[in-house]
Amino acid sequence: MDDFDRSIVALLQDDGLATADQLAAVVPLSPSAIARRVRRLRADGTISATRAVLSEAWLGRRLRALITVQLHDHAPAAGLAGLRAALLALPQVQLCFEVSGPSDLVLLVSVADMPSFNAFADAHLAGNPVVRRYETAFVKKALKFTSAAPLV
């Protein structure tokens, strides 16, 4: 990956639908050269997806929660794999990280309201024999929320 590719990728992280002409206004290459590079970056997996970011106004008020999950030390491997697979399949789970420290997992969960959160926690965490304990911090305000990776 050269500096041109890095510039293209950085711009596409901000606007995944930018045209080759728009990119060429910033990157000193012809639109056709940029289009070839974008096709290559998609084909080789550097660019793995293009997604729509929905506006908060359209989504309406959502309750977001950061949940730290501590698992039982001696939980069976099948139970751990089952919990991970279940969490990854849930649309409410926006992020799921396996982390070091006293917790094993950190989740970002988005639900409509507190009753929806309670239903989520009761169904997927509270009664799960693999989960030792979990703690929740509710998001008061999102100051920054991005999936753009730093390219430095």
Q: 85 and 36: one domain?
A: no
- Tell me the pTM: 0.81
Range of the domain at 104: 56-138
Residues 134, 60, single domain; the answer is yes
Q: Give the tens place of pLDDT for each residue, 122-146.
A: 999 998 999 999 999 999 998 988 8
Q: Is residue 74 part of a domain?
A: yes
Per residue in 1-21, pLDDT (tens digit) is: 899 999 999 999 999 999 999
Q: How many CA atoms lie less than 13 Å away from 152 in the CB half-sphere?
A: 1
Using the predicted structure, report yes or no on whether residue 111 has a pLDDT greater than 80.
Answer: yes
**Total domains, the chain:** 2
Which CATH number goes with the domain that contains 32?
Answer: 1.10.10.10
Clarify whether residues 35 and 89 are in a common domain.
no
CATH number of the domain at 106, please: 3.30.70.920
At 73 the pLDDT is 82
Token pair of 123 as six digits: 């169904």
132 and 62 inside one domain = yes
